A and B are shown apart, each in its own frame.
Chain A
């Protein structure tokens, strides 16, 4: 490692301001800090600092995503072969899945990071680690057979118009990964909806309808049993089908303290409340579906654990997180059950709540301000009466 460090130290001056490659400073810095935690020491304020940085935070999220990713790779292969009624063995299944999923990941990271580097360079900033997570999230919420050029286009749209125009990582209003999916959903509905797209290379005769698709048209008897949905060997977006794999990720995120338990809990409460209400009305087959099925169907678990808890686009105050989560949970049921156009409500519900999050925070902060002003008035009152 010493020789690598030495090499970096020799070439570093060329990448500094005024050097031969001075314009590539951000790029060099990104690679250097990837390889070595910098030697920077505290200058002002606290002399010691926590070992955590944004790289550690983001890589922990990646680790939390791994179970869903690995399961997704297997499931893509499994669904393909099952549509032909074959079982070629574990490694063939994984091999097929890898062949479908890896290109998506490569395109997502390639295009997204490319744009991030260019913008960081242009602004003279350090490259932010935020896209490391986004770049992994995007493939996991896509159907396996989606054309790569469409993925590239949606990534570019999401990163440029979702993030960079607002000032980059930390400034965006909408979750960039969901924005990419939302873009595809409305711009290329043919590759994102229906019963054809959820199984890679599906045999024509085989029904590839998702659980939500069945529920939508009232075929509740076609829905997998809860245990089956919990394990997740069913058609769907790559990373979203297995609730158990996502739960492992949720445990990692909650234990390390990176994701907000408030949002997760509040969302489940919101879904439960509206789910029970809908059950009580029970006007059609979908409304009669037990409320807890909603935790297991579609992208609920994935959206809850990895998207709703995005610290940038969710509510930022603790009280706001409760409100945000509860409304999000309620909205998911409303879109799923009452909207005839879209079987899945998680993506749209989160995007909508992303937009409302700053408003929620505003009122939460205002309440704090009013409380302080009231206290000041009360303190002055005895003097005013004199």
Chain B
């Protein structure tokens, strides 16, 4: 029995609007691939508006690395290319055909292929970008070999989809995916599962694949926390990671020869009338998933979870790496003497509001900041929700003064902005910690390249 790693520090935010365990199908007409979902790439278009594409046809590639191709999740025609300031490409929108047509990349048994052949199939099909690396949380470099690969088989974020439920039907595909990934690293593939949920994924015994169990509150499901506890990243090392549903996507590529971007997503949040799961394709338009399933009022649509997701418009699109849509109320209202009220219904990690009376209450939290931005006054609070042997406040300050050496010494290679999401949530001073961490990572990456 593998050892369980117990995460003690963290916080589960008990929000209302958890998805019920039913999967609905929905035919969606519009999809988009957003180059802005990928850190550090420089997109160069390969299609024009009106072009016909198939699932797996190249839409754009990275100017800096010819091997990074980004392909269409569905077959249809390029409906629109939306550009932002300085003509930066924002979205490439595809209108889907009635019948799905796939580019053919050829069926194969990954065990019989060489590493180069596997990398070649993954890059040509546009699946490669699902593999990301630490440090920096950018798309993995196909010509590198990571010291290990991590797959988190559970998501501990608020209202996150339950992978045990999703994985039931993906067992075969995941197993094929694992044998493909096994060729990519000299080290191990670490599957991190949640203790008590049973083995989420049944797989053929393989000396390269190791299973680990984690228990404890969010962020125990964050891959960064898992890497930190199992195989921490030192300077010069890289670790790759991939989402469990994308493992199945890789498996499907070798089983069918197609880029079949089907995924199961959770529609969650207090403002959804019937929170549930949907089977859609990557990049689906959010408004078509929502239809009239949203309560009236001023709401915020988030692709992803409430802590790390991206704010989108109602007619925006699901992010490349997101498996969840969350809809919560906007909080643009004043509250008279709000800071002085007893606060029986106010969520707080501290016990300064009387909501500690009811620890199991479900909350309908809005987007209000609940205060003004202040200097760093409180100390020791981030440590309570940051389960890594890293000093969070000291690292944040090192980034603010742009001290590269200090950032490196304090462990910036091991972290990602999502690891700091809870610090940002509980922050008394209301600073934007995730943005600060992202700036630090970007600065580090520029310095190192």
Residues on A facing B (Cβ under 8 Å): 1, 4-5, 29, 33, 35-57, 59-60, 126, 128-130, 167-171, 255-258, 260, 262, 311-312, 314, 316-318, 321, 365, 368-369, 371-373, 375-376, 379-380
User: Is B309 at the interface (CB under 8 A from chain A)?
Assistant: yes
Taken residue by residue from 383 to 404, chain B's Cβ proximity to chain A (1 for < 8 Å, 0 otherwise) reads as 1100001110110000000000
- 3 closest cross-chain pairs (CB), A and B: A53-B371, A170-B375, A37-B338
Residues of B within 8 A of A380 (CB): 234, 236
Residues on B facing A (Cβ under 8 Å): 13, 15, 232, 234-237, 300, 302, 306-309, 311, 326, 328, 330-340, 343, 346-353, 365-381, 383-384, 389-391, 393-394, 409-411, 417, 421, 424-430, 432-435
Q: Does A52 contact B311, Cβ atoms closer than 8 Å?
A: no
Out of B333, B348, B432, name the residue touching A44 (CB < 8 Å). Answer: B432
Residues of A within 8 A of B306 (CB): 46-48
Q: Does A52 contact B350, Cβ atoms closer than 8 Å?
A: yes
Question: A52-B352, A52-B370, A375-B234 are contacts. A36–B409 as well, Cβ < 8 Å?
Answer: no
B343 CB, min distance to chain A CBs, angstroms: 6
Instruction: Look across to chain A and name the residue whose beta carbon is closest to the beta carbon of B422.
Output: A46
Out of B346, B368, B375, B389, name the residue touching A368 (CB < 8 Å). Answer: B389
Distance between Cα atoms of A375 and B231 in the complex (Å): 11
Question: A35-B337, A38-B372 are contacts. A45–B350 as well, Cβ < 8 Å?
Answer: no
Residues of B within 8 A of A312 (CB): 377, 379
Q: Does A170 contact B350, Cβ atoms closer than 8 Å?
A: no
Distance between Cα atoms of A169 and B368 in the complex (Å): 24
Distance between Cα atoms of A129 and B340 in the complex (Å): 13
**Is chain B's binding surface mostly helix, strand, loop or mixed?**
loop
Q: Does A49 contact B375, Cβ atoms closer than 8 Å?
A: no
Distance between Cα atoms of A57 and B365 in the complex (Å): 20
Q: Does B377 contact A44, Cβ atoms closer than 8 Å?
A: no
With most chain B CB atoms within 10 A of its CB, the pick from A33, A39, A46, A369 is A46
Distance between Cα atoms of A116 and B427 in the complex (Å): 23
Out of A33, A47, A52, A171, name the residue touching B426 (CB < 8 Å). Answer: A52
Out of B339, B376, B432, name the residue touching A53 (CB < 8 Å). Answer: B339
Distance between Cα atoms of A55 and B339 in the complex (Å): 6
Q: Does B235 contact A50, Cβ atoms closer than 8 Å?
A: no
B371 CB, min distance to chain A CBs, angstroms: 3
A367 CB, min distance to chain B CBs, angstroms: 10
Q: Does A36 contact B337, Cβ atoms closer than 8 Å?
A: yes
Question: A45-B435, A52-B348, A54-B377 are contacts. A5–B334 as well, Cβ < 8 Å?
Answer: yes
Residues of A within 8 A of B390 (CB): 368
Q: Does A316 contact B424, Cβ atoms closer than 8 Å?
A: no
User: Given A57-B378, A59-B339, A373-B409, list of 17 further CB < 8 A pairs?
Assistant: A37-B368, A38-B334, A40-B368, A41-B332, A45-B433, A48-B366, A50-B348, A51-B346, A56-B353, A167-B375, A262-B380, A312-B379, A314-B379, A317-B380, A368-B389, A369-B410, A372-B234
Q: Does B410 contact A365, Cβ atoms closer than 8 Å?
A: yes
Distance between Cα atoms of A66 and B375 in the complex (Å): 26
Residues of B within 8 A of A53 (CB): 339, 370-372, 374, 428, 430
Q: Does B237 contact A48, Cβ atoms closer than 8 Å?
A: no
Query: What are 25 sample pairs from A and B whose C-beta atoms fall under 8 A apart?
Result: A1-B336, A5-B334, A36-B338, A37-B368, A44-B434, A44-B435, A45-B435, A46-B434, A47-B306, A47-B328, A48-B425, A50-B370, A50-B428, A51-B347, A53-B428, A56-B353, A126-B372, A260-B379, A314-B379, A316-B379, A316-B393, A318-B383, A368-B410, A371-B389, A380-B234
Instruction: Look across to chain B and name the residue whose beta carbon is closest to the beta carbon of A36.
Output: B334
Distance between Cα atoms of A169 and B376 in the complex (Å): 8
With most chain A CB atoms within 10 A of its CB, the pick from B380, B381, B424 is B380
Instruction: Look across to chain A and name the residue whose beta carbon is closest to the beta carbon of B369.
Output: A40
Residues of B within 8 A of A1 (CB): 336
Q: Does B13 contact A48, Cβ atoms closer than 8 Å?
A: yes
B358 CB, min distance to chain A CBs, angstroms: 14
Q: Does B336 contact A36, Cβ atoms closer than 8 Å?
A: yes
Question: A45-B433, A47-B367 are contacts. A39–B332 as well, Cβ < 8 Å?
Answer: yes
Q: Does B421 contact A46, Cβ atoms closer than 8 Å?
A: yes
Q: Does A257 contact B351, Cβ atoms closer than 8 Å?
A: yes
Distance between Cα atoms of A230 and B208 in the complex (Å): 65
Q: Does B380 contact A47, Cβ atoms closer than 8 Å?
A: no
Distance between Cα atoms of A378 and B431 in the complex (Å): 37
Distance between Cα atoms of A256 and B342 in the complex (Å): 13
Out of A35, A50, A126, A257, name the residue touching B374 (CB < 8 Å). Answer: A126
Question: A47-B328, A379-B234 are contacts. A54–B429 as well, Cβ < 8 Å?
Answer: yes
Distance between Cα atoms of A217 and B363 in the complex (Å): 60
Out of A40, A42, A311, A365, name the residue touching B391 (CB < 8 Å). Answer: A365
Residues of B within 8 A of A5 (CB): 334, 336
Residues of B within 8 A of A43 (CB): 432
Q: Does A37 contact B373, Cβ atoms closer than 8 Å?
A: no
Distance between Cα atoms of A36 and B369 in the complex (Å): 13
Residues of B within 8 A of A42 (CB): 331, 367-369
Residues of B within 8 A of A316 (CB): 379-380, 393-394
Q: Does A317 contact B391, Cβ atoms closer than 8 Å?
A: yes
Instruction: Look across to chain A and name the residue whose beta carbon is closest to the beta carbon of B405.
Output: A369
Out of A37, A51, A128, name the residue touching B334 (CB < 8 Å). Answer: A37
Residues of B within 8 A of A260 (CB): 379-380
Q: Does A59 contact B340, Cβ atoms closer than 8 Å?
A: yes
Instruction: Look across to chain B and name the residue whose beta carbon is closest to the beta carbon of A45.
Output: B434
Distance between Cα atoms of A53 and B425 in the complex (Å): 11
Distance between Cα atoms of A344 and B377 in the complex (Å): 28
Distance between Cα atoms of A257 and B434 in the complex (Å): 24
Q: Does B380 contact A318, Cβ atoms closer than 8 Å?
A: yes
Q: Does A51 contact B424, Cβ atoms closer than 8 Å?
A: no
Distance between Cα atoms of A372 and B347 in the complex (Å): 36
Q: Does A49 contact B380, Cβ atoms closer than 8 Å?
A: no
A297 CB, min distance to chain B CBs, angstroms: 29
Instruction: Look across to chain A and name the residue whose beta carbon is closest to the beta carbon of B389.
Output: A368
Residues of B within 8 A of A258 (CB): 350, 352, 378
A40 CB, min distance to chain B CBs, angstroms: 4
Residues of B within 8 A of A52 (CB): 348-350, 352-353, 370-371, 426, 428
B426 CB, min distance to chain A CBs, angstroms: 5
B103 CB, min distance to chain A CBs, angstroms: 37
Instruction: Look across to chain A and name the residue whose beta carbon is closest to the beta carbon of B339.
Output: A55
A267 CB, min distance to chain B CBs, angstroms: 15
Out of B311, B353, B409, B428, name the residue touching A47 (CB < 8 Å). Answer: B311
B448 CB, min distance to chain A CBs, angstroms: 15
Q: Does B237 contact A379, Cβ atoms closer than 8 Å?
A: yes
With most chain A CB atoms within 10 A of its CB, the pick from B302, B338, B352, B376 is B352
Residues of B within 8 A of A36 (CB): 334-338
Q: Does A49 contact B234, Cβ atoms closer than 8 Å?
A: no
Question: A44-B435, A52-B349, A128-B374 are contacts. A35–B430 as well, Cβ < 8 Å?
Answer: no
Q: Does A50 contact B347, Cβ atoms closer than 8 Å?
A: yes
Distance between Cα atoms of A43 and B302 in the complex (Å): 12
Out of A50, A311, A368, name the residue touching B379 (CB < 8 Å). Answer: A311
Instruction: Look across to chain A and name the residue whose beta carbon is closest to the beta carbon of B420.
Output: A45
Q: Does A41 contact B331, Cβ atoms closer than 8 Å?
A: yes
Distance between Cα atoms of A167 and B336 in the complex (Å): 30
